[in-house]
């Protein structure tokens, strides 16, 4: 299909996930503006098949060769000409395609780093949902964006809100723009009101039942521990070049204010809306224009009141660990992120309890050298691998045999 003038050509990494599905919902509303060139997923062949039939991408990518064979066979029977490939190399090819101008980076976790970084190196417009990529490789990723002239637009609702609340010509110099600091709002997750002593026995199902947002399982657990907000503090530091002590976290259970920027003259600028990821997705897709996202208008009469509180670090030790990692610098955020991914997976598989997640992360951070600066992707991958191995050992030591 020929693309019309001005049509944005998209590769969607993680198309079958929560962000991927929401992205396609916005794209579906604007068929003349957006053309899907490549859909990339891991294992949900059935959902990817349906997406291929609807959006007719030139390419689809899955995790391995048997899934690829299964998808290709189903597409052939359905008469859909999408070409199927598989594995990490195929993801890199999909973001580097010359006809692709925009990449939605919505693979969860460290698996998204290589293709997201490749999009940065290729100078694409990157819609960044995969915060773990930025947390684990902050300096390397931001250098790639600068050197290639890539455009980086945040999808994480808090960072999208801050992006919208900063001056449009913000260059990364907070003082020059009169920015005193950033305030990231946090819902507090499903365990905000629970007695701290009861947290030990909560189940993965309880942790994944978020009060305001429907999300993938990993980020849902991160929201319950508030590591999600910790990762977002680190993400905000790299995106907006603001130091840790100027990034504040505020518990705001309604999730109506998505984050705020504090200015030197006393002004506070915020972005508000219903908690629906299609808003930041549509904002970034159309930037600097505005398009309909399918989101209900915010009814402040209905909302009636908004609440704010300081986070309790005893209840949410993961938040303190993230500030510690940002303060230590070097490979500390990479180590934090990798240990967290391993600990969250172990919790989801019921190998450790909920309150063991921060204990595993802290043990890994205590055992590994953290000060080494990250100069390359290779440095990032070494720190990531060491932290994963150490985290697995810590988990095994908690449950011998």
| Sites of contact with Mg ion (CB under 5 A) | 156-158
- As a whole number of angstroms, the distance between CA 343 and CA 364 comes to 11
- As a whole number of angstroms, the distance between CA 111 and CA 13 comes to 11
Are 251 and 341 spatial neighbours (Cβ–Cβ below 8 Å)? no
Min separation Cβ 32 and ligand NAD, Å = 26
- 18 belongs to an annotated ligand binding site: yes
* Inter-CA distances, 101 with 123, 125, 144, Å: 9, 6, 16
Q: Does 259 bind ligand NAD (CB under 6 A)?
A: no
Q: Does 18 bind ligand NAD (CB under 6 A)?
A: yes
> Which strands, in side-by-side order, build the sheet including 179-186?
247-251, 179-186, 257-263, 268-272
Q: Does 129 bind ligand NAD (CB under 6 A)?
A: yes
- As a whole number of angstroms, the distance between CA 109 and CA 260 comes to 26
Site string for ligand NAD, 260-299 (x = CB under 6 A): -----------------x----------------------
Name the one range near ligand NAD by CB under 6 A: 11-19, 52-60, 186-194, 282-290.
11-19
Query: Could you say which of Mg ion, ligand NAD, none residue 129 binds, taking C-beta under 5 to 8 angstroms by partner kind?
Result: ligand NAD
Of 337, 325, 338, which Cα lies nearest the Cα of 370? 325
Angle (nearest 5°) at CA 325 between 240 and 147: 40
Q: Which residue has the tokens 């929560």?
A: 18
Report H helices in 180-316: 204-208, 217-225, 227-240, 278-286, 300-303
User: Which of 80/306 has CB closer to Mg ion?
Assistant: 306
Q: Does 132 bind ligand NAD (CB under 6 A)?
A: yes
Q: Does 41 bind ligand NAD (CB under 6 A)?
A: yes
User: Which of 154/358 has CB closer to Mg ion?
Assistant: 154
- As a whole number of angstroms, the distance between CA 374 and CA 136 comes to 10
Q: Does 131 bind ligand NAD (CB under 6 A)?
A: yes
Q: Which of 10, 11, 19, 233 touches ligand NAD by CB under 6 A?
A: 19
- As a whole number of angstroms, the distance between CA 359 and CA 363 comes to 6
User: Which of 234/368 has CB closer to ligand NAD?
Assistant: 234
- 203 belongs to an annotated ligand binding site: no
- 16 belongs to an annotated ligand binding site: yes
- Binding site feature residues: 16-19, 130-132, 156-158, 187, 210, 216, 223, 228-229, 232
Residues at the contact surface with ligand NAD, assessed by CB under 6 A? 14-20, 41-42, 44, 63, 106-108, 111, 129-132, 156, 213, 215-216, 219, 277
């Amino acid at each position: 299909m020929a693309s019309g003038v001005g049509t944005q050509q998209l590769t969607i990494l993680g198309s079958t996930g929560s962000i991927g599905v929401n992205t396609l919902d916005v794209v579906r509303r604007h068929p003349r503006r957006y053309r899907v060139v490549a859909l990339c997923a891991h294992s949900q062949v059935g959902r990817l098949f349906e997406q291929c039939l609807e959006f007719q991408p030139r390419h689809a990518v899955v995790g391995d060769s048997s899934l690829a064979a299964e998808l290709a066979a189903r597409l052939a029977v359905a008469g859909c000409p999408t070409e199927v490939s598989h594995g990490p190399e195929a993801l890199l090819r999909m973001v580097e395609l010359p006809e692709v101008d925009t990449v939605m980076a919505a693979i969860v976790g460290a698996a998204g780093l290589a293709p997201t970084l490749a999009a940065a190196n290729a100078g694409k417009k990157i819609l960044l949902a995969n915060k773990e990529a930025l947390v684990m490789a902050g300096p390397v990723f931001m250098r790639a964006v600068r050197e290639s002239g890539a455009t980086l637009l945040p999808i994480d609702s808090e960072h999208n809100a801050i992006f919208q609340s900063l001056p449009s010509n913000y260059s990364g110099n907070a003082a020059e723009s009169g920015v005193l600091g950033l305030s990231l709002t946090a819902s507090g997750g499903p365990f905000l009101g629970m007695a701290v002593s009861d947290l030990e026995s909560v189940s993965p199902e309880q942790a994944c039942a978020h009060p305001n947002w429907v999300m993938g399982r990993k980020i849902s657990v991160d929201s319950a521990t508030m590591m999600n907000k910790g990762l977002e503090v680190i993400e905000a530091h790299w995106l907006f070049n603001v130091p840790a002590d100027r990034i504040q976290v505020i518990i705001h259970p309604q999730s109506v204010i998505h984050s705020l920027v504090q200015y030197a003259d006393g002004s506070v600028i915020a972005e508000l809306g219903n908690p629906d990821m299609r808003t930041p997705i549509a904002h970034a897709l159309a930037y600097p224009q505005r398009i309909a996202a399918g989101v209900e208008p915010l009814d402040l009469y209905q909302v009636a009141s908004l609440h704010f509180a300081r986070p309790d670090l005893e209840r949410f030790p993961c938040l303190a660990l993230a500030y510690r990692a940002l303060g230590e610098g070097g490979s500390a955020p990479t180590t934090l992120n990798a240990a967290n991914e391993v600990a969250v997976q172990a919790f989801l598989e019921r190998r450790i309890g909920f309150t063991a997640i921060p204990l595993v992360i802290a043990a890994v951070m205590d055992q590994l050298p953290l000060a080494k600066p990250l100069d390359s992707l290779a440095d990032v991958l070494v720190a990531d691998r060491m932290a994963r191995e150490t985290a697995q050992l810590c988990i095994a030591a908690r449950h011998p045999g």
